[in-house]
Homo-oligomer: A and B are copies of this chain.
Amino acid sequence: MPRIHFHQQLAALKDKLLAMAALAHQVLEYSVTAYVKGDMSLCAHVLEIEAAINAAEREVDEMAYELLSREQPMAIDLRFILSVIKINGDLERIGDQSVNIAQRARTLDKLPRVSLPVDIVRMGEHAGKMTQLAIQALVEGDAAIADQVLAMDDEMDLMNREVQDVMVELMQEKPETTDYALNAIIIARNLERSGDHATNIAEDVIFWVRGSDVRHKFALADAD
């Protein structure tokens, strides 16, 4: 197969992955907005987009399989294709987290609203920013941008812990808020996990671009 056809196939694979990444970023935003604004119509959109992400994961895997079986990609092209296989899994998981957040938003919508002394909106924005930067790193093949995502992960972890501590205090003082506070804790955890998946994507971009494996070099002593 002529090399130009190979590079067209490679470009098609990259485009498909980027389209999937855009959906993942969008669905995360929708799910947080559904919670913040109590907009239940967005929950239906979340489910639709997540289904599209799942279908895209299968298509990307099949395209990667075809490319690998027909060509003999070497070096950086091979690393790129292997990164794609890893990255599409993390994008799919961001879709899953968004569905989880939307389901929590639905549950909360049925409960008496409780004013929470925590900033889940800020966590949502942080997770969205991490996802957007990870996608940008992927588009531009830029490991320095990927590094920025890794650096944002600690902040996400701190915010998650704060939400949990404050919510536990609230539940102890006002047991009638337990159901509501627990769902808020779960949303915060889902956002923290979305940040983790953005971090994984950034690490895979670094593997592709620098050819070096940075995974697990960051201490996970207090993960989750």
Residues of A within 8 A of B (CB): 51, 54-55, 57-58, 61-62, 64-65, 68-69, 72-75, 78-79, 82, 85-86, 89, 96, 99-100, 103, 164, 168, 171-173, 175-176, 178-179, 182, 185-186, 190, 213, 215-216, 220, 222-224
Copy number in the complex reads 2
Which B residues are CB-close (under 8 A) to A85? 82, 85-86
Other than A58-B215, A65-B82, A172-B178, give 4 A-B pairs with Cβ distance below 8 A: A69-B73, A96-B223, A171-B171, A186-B224
Among B61, B86, B171, point to the contact of A213 (Cβ < 8 A).
B61
Interface of A (DSSP majority class) = helix
Query: Distance in Å from the Cβ of A210 to the closest Cβ of chain B?
Result: 14
> Do A168 and B179 touch across chains, with their CB atoms under 8 A apart?
yes
Q: Are A68 and B78 in contact (CB under 8 A)?
A: yes
A-B residue pairs in contact (CB < 8 Å), sample of 26: A54-B215, A54-B216, A55-B216, A58-B213, A64-B82, A65-B82, A68-B78, A68-B82, A69-B75, A69-B78, A72-B72, A82-B85, A85-B85, A96-B220, A96-B223, A96-B224, A168-B178, A168-B179, A168-B182, A171-B175, A171-B178, A172-B179, A175-B175, A178-B178, A186-B224, A190-B224
